[in-house]
């Protein structure tokens, strides 16, 4: 595939400093308005905007030949684009945020240290407590993993991201929700129907189940009323999840252990119904607020004011 990684996003909010403080508290590193894991302190950039919104998606391709292929496909779709500084910049024709594709070396985060688990018949952790118990501080998040967007024209968005940019479909839910990838992750971008373009949530990868549970529990204790959904393990993607609300009203997911797709030909795209597709354990169904956030009318009014 021409794409190999989700490089980052830009989130717009009325009060950027609030998210700066949040990402620093979460354990990301960086500086004013740019945050991420060690070595990539700009995976999530923050900008001022009149209402919370996604402003930019950044993905990586391999080389100039990949960029040329994307340019040709976008031309075939009639989508405007430009090349600046070796990067392809394409305004999303439906959702109005920018997508930037840039040749970037293939890379991943460093491997996590493996937890020593005692399981029936194999109990190697003897005379020692679990690592999560003995750690002085919680290990920091590892990376931005994926983004979920709502779009008012799901089929046109499908054409832009899949036929034009080169995202690959992993699974389809309800006939109109597309789990797509630009890496070996099961999904880096989920396209879902929405009344206007909006950021449904962004997802942050943790080392293991313990760090997801500990990080989410600590956040909830400090920030009452921010629970959205979880914990659970998704049926689609397989990842352990816990969804919370950040200080600007965006949903964010802490996750681990997502399905990995390396052999493109061997993966079989699943067609899932909406019922019984949410979680293997934990809550059976996604809560109503998950795709209908409490500030949806504000998002509708803001988008129509800016683009109507």
Residue 74 in domain: yes
With beta carbons less than 8 A apart as the criterion, state whether 258 and 201 touch: no
Number of domains in the chain: 1
Residue 112 in domain: no
Residue 183 in domain: yes
Residue 126 in domain: no
Residue 272 in domain: yes
Q: Which two tokens stand for residue 149?
A: 């967007």
Residue 134 in domain: no
- Give the domain extent around 166: 3-107+139-307
With beta carbons less than 8 A apart as the criterion, state whether 50 and 302 touch: yes
Angle at 24 between CA 189 and CA 294, to 5 degrees: 55
With beta carbons less than 8 A apart as the criterion, state whether 242 and 252 touch: no
Query: What average pLDDT does the chain have?
Result: 96
The per-residue pLDDT for 1 is 80
Q: Which residue has the tokens 């979680």?
A: 279
Q: Does the global pTM surpass 0.75?
A: yes
The per-residue pLDDT for 113 is 85
pLDDT tens-digit map of 98-150: 999 999 999 999 998 888 999 999 999 999 999 999 999 999 999 999 999 99
Residue 133 in domain: no
Q: Tell me 138's DSSP state.
A: P
Residue 128 in domain: no
- pLDDT truncated to tens, each residue of the chain (308 aa)? 899 999 999 999 999 999 999 999 999 999 878 999 998 999 999 999 999 999 999 999 999 999 999 999 999 999 999 999 999 999 999 999 999 999 999 999 999 888 899 999 999 999 999 999 999 999 999 999 999 999 999 999 999 999 999 999 999 999 999 999 999 999 999 999 999 999 999 999 999 999 999 999 999 999 999 999 999 999 999 999 999 999 999 999 999 999 999 998 899 999 999 888 999 999 999 999 999 999 999 999 999 999 97
CATH of the domain at 249: 3.10.180.10
* Torsional sign, CA 200, 139, 238, 277: negative
pLDDT tens-digit map of 24-41: 999 999 987 899 999 899
């Amino acid at each position: 595939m021409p794409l190999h990684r989700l490089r980052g996003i830009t989130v717009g909010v009325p009060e950027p400093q609030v998210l700066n403080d949040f990402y620093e508290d979460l354990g990301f590193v960086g500086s004013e308005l740019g945050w991420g894991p060690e070595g990539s302190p700009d995976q999530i950039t923050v900008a001022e905007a009149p209402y919370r919104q996604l402003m930019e998606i950044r993905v990586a391709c391999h080389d100039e030949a990949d960029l040329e292929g994307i340019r040709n496909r976008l031309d075939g779709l009639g989508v405007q684009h430009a090349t600046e500084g070796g990067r392809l910049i394409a305004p999303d024709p439906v959702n109005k945020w920018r997508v930037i594709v840039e040749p970037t070396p293939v890379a991943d985060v460093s491997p996590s240290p493996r937890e020593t688990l005692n399981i029936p018949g194999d109990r190697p952790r003897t005379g020692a407590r679990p690592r999560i118990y003995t750690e002085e501080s919680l290990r920091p998040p590892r990376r931005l993993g994926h983004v979920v967007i709502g779009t008012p024209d799901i089929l046109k968005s499908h054409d832009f991201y899949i036929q034009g940019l080169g995202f690959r479909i992993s699974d389809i839910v309800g006939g109109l929700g597309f789990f797509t990838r630009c890496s070996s992750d099961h999904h880096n971008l989920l396209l879902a129907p929405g009344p206007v373009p909006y950021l449904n949530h962004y997802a942050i990868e943790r080392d293991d189940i313990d760090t997801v549970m500990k990080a989410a529990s600590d956040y909830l204790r400090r920030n009452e009323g921010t629970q959205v959904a979880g914990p659970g393990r998704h049926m689609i993607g397989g990842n352990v999840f816990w969804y919370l609300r950040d200080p600007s009203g965006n949903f964010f997911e802490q996750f681990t252990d997502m399905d990995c797709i390396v052999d493109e030909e061997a993966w079989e795209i699943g067609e899932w119904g909406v019922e019984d597709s949410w979680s293997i354990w934990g809550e059976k169904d996604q809560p109503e607020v998950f795709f209908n956030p409490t500030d949806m009318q504000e998002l509708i009014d803001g988008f129509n004011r800016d683009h109507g």
